[in-house]
Chain A
Amino acid sequence: MNRATPRLRVLAALPFVLVLLAYLLVLALWYDRLPDPLATHFGPEGGGRADGFTGRTASAFVSTALLLGTAVGWNLFVRRNALWGAWATAGFTGTLLVLVLRDNLDAADAAEVVSPLVNLTLAAAGAALLALAGLALTRLVPEEEPAAGPGAEDGPRLPLGPSEVAGWSRTSASRPLTVLAVLALAAVPVTLLLAPWPGAWPALLGPVVGVPGLALARVRVTVDRRGLTVRPALVPRPRVRVPLDEIAGATARDVDPVSEFGGWGYRVRPRRTGVVLRSGEALVVRRDNGHEFAVTVSDAHTAAALLNTLVERRGRL
């Protein structure tokens, strides 16, 4: 299992908690010296003059929500070697929030507040500082164990006669992905017809989302003498194939898209690749180099058993 340990999750949340406390402390100290509303957004004119405003208390809530939201996001997706990223994010966001407060300090009129561009450099420095701290703390997290799925020796089996040939094939689909892809594609003609041209250009992003989405929404998974093949159900290409020669063993198990693959779709993670369309039953193949390939599909047990038998038979020949 490659799930984040509780310790890793705590260490990923820690910088956000620290930054939030520091921000609230600064806010409390300066509260009476800040204008209401605060200048919270700055444009390029006049070297960063304020062009967006938020109430003093409201902005405290918004900032808190921002930090907590980012913390939750990092907590869901954090991995050991990305821990520094959580700290860098917290450092960048926290520095920027405090600097904006400082820019507002003692301002009679929030519209006159200027936030110089150098703030971004300072925020980057804050990010770098906390990133180093995060990097140092990574040592406290035990290294992720390489995925140790069962090999061909102890996986399921499918008894085959000496002259018998077998293949397994099944489609696997994701309804949410289908809906999403179809909506993205349908948005293109609708937007192009209804919106005037220059405003309609984002519609061209529709196919960028829709075409790969549709290709992944329904896939055909095939196990045969050549190995494991995954391709879109409607067209033969593009396809992903793990050749039988490179397979060490196969197993069927439940996968969790978020914690193991960081989401749905065609996922590439260190030592683990997958076509992950839903949570639950998946065919997981271990390659000779220890890497895993997973595809979510029903009746994965039969597929794994056939693969193990084919791998074993290849070894005998």
Chain B
Amino acid sequence: MLFRVDPASAVPLGDQIAACVRGALADGSAAPGERLPAARELADSLGVNVHTVLRGYQRLREEGLIELRRGRGAVVVPGATAPDRARLVSRLREAAAEARELGLTEEEFLDLARTSLG
């Protein structure tokens, strides 16, 4: 899979890395169960700090898209729903960014999300 980050962008590098994985999952260039490059290796590749990569991986873990295991590295969650889940997370992040632009508070945004659920 392709990782591309822009240090000149306002988006934090860790988030950019997470977005690459989400995108790869969504378009099928990363498959469920696939192992991501080790954080240190990816950091060397891109010339960024290893903690930056780990921050990106940690975010993906919180989103339920990858599993992080000591010694095994980062693995895309197995199961056919992973690509759809990646797409859903991407859309949610877009929605959150839009809400921020509109000047919504966190509470207001969550209320809206809750209303959409019901």
- A contact set with B: CB distance below 8 Å: 158, 160-161, 163-171, 220, 222, 224-226, 233, 236, 299, 302, 306
Contact = CB atoms under 8 A, between A and B. Distances in A.
Nearest to B3: A167
25 contacts: A158-B2, A160-B4, A161-B6, A161-B8, A164-B4, A166-B3, A166-B4, A167-B3, A167-B4, A167-B42, A167-B46, A168-B1, A168-B3, A169-B37, A169-B42, A169-B45, A171-B34, A171-B35, A220-B37, A222-B37, A224-B44, A224-B45, A225-B47, A226-B45, A302-B29
A165 B29 contact: no
Choose among B2, B3, B4, B47 the residue with the greatest number of A CB atoms under 10 Å from its CB: B2
Contact of B2 (A161, A168, A171): A168
B35 A166 contact: no
B35 A222 contact: no
Given A166-B3, A169-B45, A302-B2, A233 B35 contact: yes
Contacts of B94: none
A165 B7 contact: yes
Nearest to B34: A171
A305 B48 CA distance: 22
B1 A170 contact: yes
B4 A169 contact: no
Contacts of A165: 4-7, 46-48
B108 interface: no
B41 interface: yes
Contacts of A164: 4-6
A225 B47 CA distance: 9
B41 A222 contact: yes
A243 to B, nearest CB: 14
Choose among A163, A165, A167, A222 the residue with the greatest number of B CB atoms under 10 Å from its CB: A167
Q: Sorted from nearest, which 10 A-B pairs have the closest CB atoms? A: A167-B45, A163-B8, A224-B45, A166-B4, A169-B37, A164-B6, A167-B3, A168-B2, A165-B46, A167-B46
| Interface of A, helix, strand, loop or mixed by DSSP | mixed
Nearest to A158: B2
B96 to A, nearest CB: 24
A183 B95 CA distance: 52
Nearest to A298: B29
A52 B1 CA distance: 60
B40 to A, nearest CB: 9
Nearest to A236: B41
Given A168-B2, A169-B37, A302-B2, A224 B46 contact: yes
Contacts of B3: 166-169
Contacts of A225: 45, 47
Contacts of A222: 37, 41, 45
B112 to A, nearest CB: 34
A206 to B, nearest CB: 26
Interface string B17-29: 0000000000001
B50 to A, nearest CB: 14
A258 to B, nearest CB: 28
Contacts of B1: 168-170, 299
Nearest to B47: A165
Given A167-B3, A302-B2, 12 more contacts: A160-B4, A164-B5, A165-B7, A165-B47, A166-B3, A167-B2, A168-B2, A169-B37, A222-B37, A224-B44, A233-B35, A302-B29
A64 to B, nearest CB: 50
Contacts of A158: 2
B29 A299 contact: yes
A67 B61 CA distance: 61
